[in-house]
Structure formats: structure tokens, C-alpha cells
Amino acid sequence: MGAAESVPETSIHEFTVKDCSGKEVSLETYKGKVLLVVNVASKCGFTETNYTQLTELYQKYKDKDFEILAFPCNQFLRQEPGSNQQIKDFACTRFKADYPVFQKEPVGRTFESVQIIGSEISSHGSLKI
């Protein structure tokens, strides 16, 4: 077996992203919390189940240093066609999402400098580990 690959360490907390209103949010805000970073889409066949479960999970653990960071993406079969405001309204009104919903971005762009050893992102956006 060869030597371990040297990968520069980048913490998720070093990133700044934009929320659905366009406001910059430093992920340093979430340091010390358990984070679930998830792609979401309003037209996916799993939307109802996923948003419902995310909201339930958040309500159960939000007071225990747990945070969900939802990143809408239209990259998977164009299942998130809405504007950032429409996405926020959909998540917050229909599913009572109290967790942060960020601007729509292609998978990989927001965290493109984060590397996971032994992984690759395929051309259709899925992460292979």
C-alpha cells in the first residue's frame, strides 16, 4: 500500500455562503455543533418525506448543538426550478423549516475546495467515497 495522500485541511467553518435572501453567512457560526449538510429540491419524488423528516429531526435535536444546513440544487434532473425566495417560502411555509436554507448552487461549488480522501464527485454531482 502506498503513502497516504497529502490533502490540505479545510474546515467547513472556513466557508462563507449566502442564505436565500442573499445575506452572507459565515459557517464559523456553527462551530461546535453537529452539522447535517443536505441538498434539497422541491420537485423531487422524496420532497415530502425528506422535508418532513428534516423538520422532525431538527425539532428533536436543535437544542443539543445540532444544525441542518439545507442547500437547494437544481442539478439533479432539474427538480429545484424555483427562485431562492420561492424555495425559502416553500420550505418554511409548507414544512415549517426553522433550519437555514441557503441559496441554490450546483453541487460542489459551495464547498469545492473541501476534499475527502479517496472520493470523487461524478459528472452528475454524486459523491463517491
Domain range summary for the chain, segments of one domain joined by +: 12-128
Q: Give the HSE-up count for residue 29: Cα atoms under 13 Å, Cβ half-sphere.
A: 11
Residue 8 has pLDDT above 60, yes or no: no
One-character DSSP codes across 39-91: EE-TTSTTHHHHHHHHHHHHHHHGGGTEEEEEEE-STTTT---S-HHHHHHII
12, 47, 63, 102 from 39: Cα distances, Å: 16, 11, 23, 10
Question: What architecture is the 12-128 domain classified under in CATH?
Answer: 3-Layer(aba) Sandwich (3.40)
What's the confidence (pLDDT) of residue 46?
85
Rg, Å, the chain Cα set: 16
| Angle at alpha carbon of residue 53, lines to 96 and 83, rounded to 5° | 50
Q: Give the pTM.
A: 0.76
**Of 20, 44, 73, 92, catalytic:** 44
- Mean pLDDT score of the chain, rounded to an integer? 80
CB 1 within 8 A of CB 83: no
In the residue annotation, 20 being an active-site residue is answered as no
Residue 124 has pLDDT above 60, yes or no: no
Name the pLDDT band for 62 (thresholds 50, 70, 90): very high
Which residues have CB under 8 Å from 111's CB, separation 6+? Answer: 12, 15, 37
Relative to beta strand 24-26, strand 34-40 is unpaired
Residue 111 has pLDDT above 90, yes or no: no
Q: What is the pLDDT of residues 72-87, one digit of tens each?
A: 988 878 888 888 899 8
